[in-house]
Structure 1
């Protein structure tokens, strides 16, 4: 049996997940990320404690996406330093507005922020009636390679296109016509009672509203058959995408903070 390089971190990860669960989903981006770590390598988990009490959790993913929760300034400072260990600086930061207030002075002092965004946290608890699509399989890989060429370069940098790994974990759903992939969407971070979706893309020549609605409906139905809620994070300035998810029955739970870092 192959050795799991993350096996030694399993107890710490369990502590982090249990601690985050006590917050009653106040930091959905971090919770979803923590639950996805069992399937990914080269991530960095840091926990800040005072005595036996956990005061903060930080996760930096392989592509440099950093997720943070901290109860106070001391935890925020410690975890910010831990996130940049051995010269590997995070590329983005996603956290709550409350933690943003704690860490803003640190980031400002270092001149670390390139751009800031407001993310909306949306939640769906009822599957829509329109459903079309299926989970991707290995036979879709040639079509997915062709489909990937239709994603513009800037957007491709934001989408997880590790098709083989996503298929192996049953995290990629597609909608196809005549053996061509017209749209894809990714699910991630399945916790016992909720999961997230991301990276919905529809090829430019397709009818985005209809195709996207059908595929999103399929994935929502699959997840909600086993869990209570599905979350998606949307740029607060993207009115079109916000309207799209509103039409699917998503509820707006408020904002969280994202920054591109230098």
Structure 2
């Protein structure tokens, strides 16, 4: 079993390059079966405060676990015992993950174990959606350092239940061109995060528009902006959407997204 933490003060490749190479080997063998985990591994290269754990024998890799900023955890494993072992290592600075995203099979293996060891607040099926066409309607811009004060003010308007699962590392996201915003005058009224840029694809997440704004129109235009920007350099954009969120699913399908399967997500205590 190999595991490593990464903090913002470390050289990002000095210690972890061999593990990242192993992770890449696992993902290559999986042939696109776990896109959320692939995106998380690619995101590691531009972020701090993550934990990567790999289980392997002399013959093969048996499991891979990634905990990202915001305590979002992605996991794949070949056997239930490996999934349980990796779950015991999914801790950063003593803090357990806030969410787990895995295949339906792995989620089924871990449901009882997680309930016993830490608790599950809620369980959801999430749809993986895929888009390869830029929407016509798009508006927004990439956030910059000059937006940090406005972003902190904008953050005050985000519902606390939603905020706890959002990546609000504004300074980091602005520096890596990982956050797009929609503005009204001097105010930021909407945001969306781009993450996990792989050579041929990337993903979007954390789309939010303040309640007092024209939410549906702004969300569609802002998502359209980021999708268009990604597709100028890559072939595909992915997004994960809760299957019970009918409005968001309809909005993304209107933007040209198509279903690519379902994953298990647990919100953890």
Answer whether TM exceeds 0.5 for this pair.
Answer: yes
Which residues of structure 1 form unaligned runs of 5+?
A: none
Q: Is the 8 A contact 1:36 1:190 kept in 2?
A: yes
Cα separation, partners in 2 of 1:94 and 1:129, compared to 1, 3 Å? same
C-alpha displacement of 1:98? 1.8
**More deviation, 162-171/101-110:** 101-110
Q: Tell me, yes or no, if structure 1 residue 180 matches structure 2 residue 220.
A: no
Partner of 1:9: 16
Match of 1:81 among 88, 97, 102: 88
Q: Is the 8 A contact 2:70 2:166 kept in 1?
A: no
Partner of 1:207: 214
Partner of 2:34: 27
SS of the aligned residue for 2:16 comes to helix
Q: Is the 8 A contact 1:6 1:41 kept in 2?
A: no
Q: Deviations over 1:168-218 (max 9, x none)?
A: 000111121222212111100101111110111112122112111111111
Partner of 2:265: 258
Q: Is the 8 A contact 2:12 2:45 kept in 1?
A: no
Query: Aligned Cα RMSD in Å?
Result: 2.0
Which residues of structure 2 form unaligned runs of 5+?
A: 1-8
Q: Tell me, yes or no, if structure 1 residue 46 matches structure 2 residue 61.
A: no
For 1:168 and 1:205, how far apart are their aligned partners in 2?
28
Cα separation, partners in 2 of 1:193 and 1:80, compared to 1, 3 Å? same
For 1:44 and 1:159, how far apart are their aligned partners in 2?
18
For 2:149 and 2:24, how far apart are their aligned partners in 1?
37
For 1:180 and 1:111, how far apart are their aligned partners in 2?
40
For 1:59 and 1:3, how far apart are their aligned partners in 2?
17
SS of the aligned residue for 1:25 comes to coil
Matches within 5 A, 1:119-134: 119-134=126-141
Partner of 1:216: 223
Match of 1:66 among 66, 69, 73: 73
Q: Is the 8 A contact 1:57 1:68 kept in 2?
A: yes
SS of the aligned residue for 2:55 comes to strand
